[in-house]
Structure 1
Amino acid sequence: MPSRIGARHLRCVLSSLSLFWIAVALAAPARSEPAQTEILIRLDERQQRAAGIDTVAAQAEAGTTPTSLPGTVSVPPRQLRVVAAPAAGLLEAVLVAPNEPVREGQPIARLRSTELLEAQRLYLQALSAERLAAERLRRDEQLFRERIIAERRLITTRADHDFARTSLQEREQFLALVGMSDAAIAELKAQRRMAPALTITAPVEGVVLETNVSAGERVAPAAPLFSIAELKPLWITLQVPLSQAVAVETGTRVNVPGTPAQGEVVRLGRSVDAVTQSIAAVVEVEDGAEALRPGQVVTASVALRPNGTPQWRLPAGSVVRHAGRSWVFVRTQEGFRARPVTVVAESGSAVTIRAHLGPEDQVATRGILALLAELSNLYGG
């Protein structure tokens, strides 16, 4: 009996150990993962000398790292208004010029239009019909109370009045669509005198960016006349190279050297420009926006903050691009290990990267082409 219990206990232990190691194997990363992130390139001393490979120790950096990126100033879409011609007609006068500030409701043009006259005529006609229908309804309600007419006639009269009132509302809305103000419509209703010309006003407070017409021109309905924009805040759309894209994030501070303009990244693009291989980062500039102009091309200084990954400075040319990633070659006893890195900033003499390196690591700075050829053979991407 004791031996039988011991055998059973041993089988339970072995079964538990098997399940444990299976769980460990499933939780552990696949063996091929290191080969996908770091590539060992075997080179002996003789091969390294023949390839002319030199190395240098990486210099540690701390704090924020500034980098310069090109960008274009633009007006946020929510702050741009296009004033269109409400009706076809002759533009009698243009009352504002480009770059002129305007107030909301300020007259900016006068338009003489036969369509406006027709809209007023139809409105006055609908107004008379509604008043006649209202008088018929009042009279029939009195006759129905005196039991002189049947209820069916009263129902018909009410329906006629509802239709007349709806038609009047439609014509009033059409007058608003052709640009007449509430005060002008009220005056037309009271005085019943039609106006041959229409005063176009600014819909918002801002600055006139464009005037697309001049006095004396005939314009079609919905033809764009003016572009008016509020110029604070402004946007700067930066072109961020793919090698630096992961180092830029929402909230990153940006300033334009030589101006008081500064802001932060509010949006990062998800698509890549096929020509420049860069993504768009939108910076909203509130402070110092008056120093910028829509359409202006600027070079912005972007303060890249640490993200927990060590940051290092290397000579220019130490980083290569392959298979859509940036790589450095770290010397080992077997040769070199190609390690993917994130480029933070680049200049003519140095490059700043984020990578898991150590102060004792030696990084190749010359003979890169031979190492890149070996990397291409081992890691085709």
Structure 2
Amino acid sequence: MKRWLFLVVLVPFLWGYDAIKISKEQLSDLGIKVITIDGNISGKGLPFNAYIDFDNKSSSTQSSSFDAIVTALYRREGENVKEGEVICEISSIDLNNLYFELQNTQNRLKVAKDVTQKDRDLYKAGVISKREYQVSYLASQEMELKVRQIESTFKIFGIDPKNPKGKYGFRVVARDSGILSVAPKNTGDKIPAFTTYIRISKNDDLLARIKLPISVSGFIKKGSAVFDENGKKIGVIQSISVVLDKASNTILATALIDQGNYRVGEMLDVYIEGIKPEGSIVIPSNALIKNGSDYLVFIRTKDGFMPTPVHIIEERNNLFVIDDKSVKIGDKVAAGALIALKGIINNIGDE
């Protein structure tokens, strides 16, 4: 078996590590190759978790201002619906009270309009004054405004006030045509007050919602490529929020997904192309090795390599971003089985 200790010469150097003197033949036997740092090294980017959702730029929502219970389901998330089509039925004491108020106000409005019409006729006949007629007219107008306000509340729910009741409760109908991207899932489910429980999207474009740690959010910009686990580009970053989520200390980024077969609600691992910080270079992970508390790059010299400590700014998928104080563009460095070079500088030989 070959013995490398007597073939390798260690030369003291100012880094605190000895320069390694080694032949090309030895490099080949050790499984080490030499690469050039050219600034064009690329990888999949920074790894993140993403939540797939519909692109809701063109969508309509229906929300609840009361607690309610789902009593029947006719359409589910992901299905296409047409405007006016029944999605589900819901039940609520508050809705029942509101419906009673609507019916009562409509009846009062009908009486008020009859009074207004009679007063108008009496005013034209000279029996009553104009002021008396105006009083009844304003009263009917106020009543009509009250009816419209109650009807508007039903419409926000998605309930048609002209045909509100179904077999099991109040009929919730689609206010628009499109894809039902949010809808109740089960009968008996509770719909909390002040929540959106129906959302209809105009198209089936998908977004990846990605929470970026504040520490790396500055390295990602609008237009950055997004890749899947295999390094295939699946979309681009569309927006990066300027608002910090204090609970998770993250920034929300959204990416338009135009490749791949994904489903709404799916969680997946994605990689985002990150910009290179100023004063840094990128090297492949197989060109760096940890030795004690140091991370070392082996820079090619005339007779071998110089073990050079570097400062890691950021770790990416199969890449490291390091500062450019120790390694420069154009430097040739060792890559591959660096454990052999690490053994040499630590006086460990191959017996």
TM-score, scaled relative to structure 1 = 0.56
Partner of 2:28: none
Provide the rounded CA distance (Å) in 1 between the counterparts of 2:195 and 2:243.
Answer: 31
Name the CA shift for 1:246/1:85 in 2 (closer, same or farther; >3 Å).
closer
* Structure 2 residue corresponding to 1:152, chosen from 116, 131, 140: 131
Find the residue that maps to 2:223 and give its secondary structure. Answer: coil
Provide the rounded CA distance (Å) in 2 between the counterparts of 1:87 and 1:273.
Answer: 28
Asked if 1:173 corresponds to 2:114, the answer is no
Shift of 1:287: 0.9
Find the residue that maps to 2:117 and give its secondary structure. Answer: helix
Find the residue that maps to 1:184 and give its secondary structure. Answer: coil
Provide the rounded CA distance (Å) in 1 between the counterparts of 2:243 and 2:196.
Answer: 34
Q: Is the 8 A contact 2:123 2:129 kept in 1?
A: yes
Provide the rounded CA distance (Å) in 1 between the counterparts of 2:194 and 2:136.
Answer: 43
Partner of 1:126: 105
Shift of 1:207: 4.8
Cα deviation digits, residues 31-77 of structure 1 (max 9, x gap): xxxxxxxxxxxxxx85748x434589982224461234232223268
Provide the rounded CA distance (Å) in 1 between the counterparts of 2:259 and 2:331.
Answer: 45
Q: Is the 8 A contact 2:225 2:237 kept in 1?
A: yes
Partner of 1:67: 44
Provide the rounded CA distance (Å) in 2 between the counterparts of 1:120 and 1:312.
Answer: 66
Partner of 1:313: 283
Shift of 1:102: 3.5
Q: Is the 8 A contact 2:112 2:140 kept in 1?
A: yes
Q: Is the 8 A contact 1:65 1:344 kept in 2?
A: no
Q: Is the 8 A contact 1:265 1:281 kept in 2?
A: no
Find the residue that maps to 2:163 and give its secondary structure. Answer: helix
How many residues are aligned here?
300
Name the CA shift for 1:155/1:245 in 2 (closer, same or farther; >3 Å).
closer
Partner of 1:288: 259
Provide the rounded CA distance (Å) in 2 between the counterparts of 1:218 and 1:312.
Answer: 52
Mean Cα deviation higher: 101-110 or 308-317: 308-317
Name the CA shift for 1:74/1:86 in 2 (closer, same or farther; >3 Å).
same
Name the CA shift for 1:241/1:359 in 2 (closer, same or farther; >3 Å).
farther
Partner of 2:142: 163
Provide the rounded CA distance (Å) in 1 between the counterparts of 2:61 and 2:173.
Answer: 12
Q: How does 1:1-381 map to 2 (within 5 A)?
A: 48=14, 51-54=16-19, 59-63=36-40, 65-68=42-45, 69-75=47-53, 78=56, 91-97=70-76, 100-105=78-83, 106-112=85-91, 116-177=95-156, 179-181=158-160, 184=163, 197-202=169-174, 205-207=178-180, 211=184, 213-214=186-187, 217=188, 219=190, 222=193, 230=201, 232-237=205-210, 239=212, 242=215, 247-258=219-230, 262-268=234-240, 282-288=253-259, 290-300=261-271, 302-303=272-273, 311=281, 313=283, 315-317=287-289, 343=314, 345=316, 347=318, 351=320, 353=322, 355=324, 357=328, 359=330
Name the CA shift for 1:345/1:182 in 2 (closer, same or farther; >3 Å).
same
Provide the rounded CA distance (Å) in 1 between the counterparts of 2:162 and 2:109.
Answer: 20
Provide the rounded CA distance (Å) in 2 between the counterparts of 1:135 and 1:280.
Answer: 60
Name the CA shift for 1:127/1:272 in 2 (closer, same or farther; >3 Å).
closer
Shift of 1:181: 1.4
Q: Percent of aligned pairs with the same residue?
A: 8
Shift of 1:211: 4.2
Q: Is the 8 A contact 2:296 2:310 kept in 1?
A: yes
Cα deviation digits, residues 86-123 of structure 1 (max 9, x gap): 766664422345x5524244423223556555444433
Shift of 1:288: 2.0
CA RMSD of aligned residues (A): 5.4
Q: Which amino acid aligns with 2:44?
A: T
Name the CA shift for 1:327/1:285 in 2 (closer, same or farther; >3 Å).
farther
Structure 2 stretches of 5 or more lacking a match? 1-10, 22-33, 301-306, 343-351
Q: Is the 8 A contact 1:67 1:304 kept in 2?
A: no
Provide the rounded CA distance (Å) in 1 between the counterparts of 2:316 and 2:189.
Answer: 55
Structure 1 stretches of 5 or more lacking a match? 1-44, 189-193, 368-381
Shift of 1:246: 5.4
Q: Is the 8 A contact 2:236 2:257 kept in 1?
A: no
Q: Is the 8 A contact 2:12 2:19 kept in 1?
A: no
Structure exhibiting the larger radius of gyration computed from Cα positions = 1
Cα deviation digits, residues 321-347 of structure 1 (max 9, x gap): 99xxx999999xxxx999878657463
Shift of 1:262: 1.4
Provide the rounded CA distance (Å) in 2 between the counterparts of 1:306 and 1:71.
Answer: 21
Find the residue that maps to 1:61 and give its secondary structure. Answer: coil
Name the CA shift for 1:183/1:297 in 2 (closer, same or farther; >3 Å).
same
Provide the rounded CA distance (Å) in 1 between the counterparts of 2:245 and 2:219.
Answer: 18
Q: Which amino acid aligns with 2:179?
A: G
Shift of 1:309: 7.2
Q: Is the 8 A contact 2:160 2:171 kept in 1?
A: no
Name the CA shift for 1:249/1:182 in 2 (closer, same or farther; >3 Å).
same
Shift of 1:153: 2.0
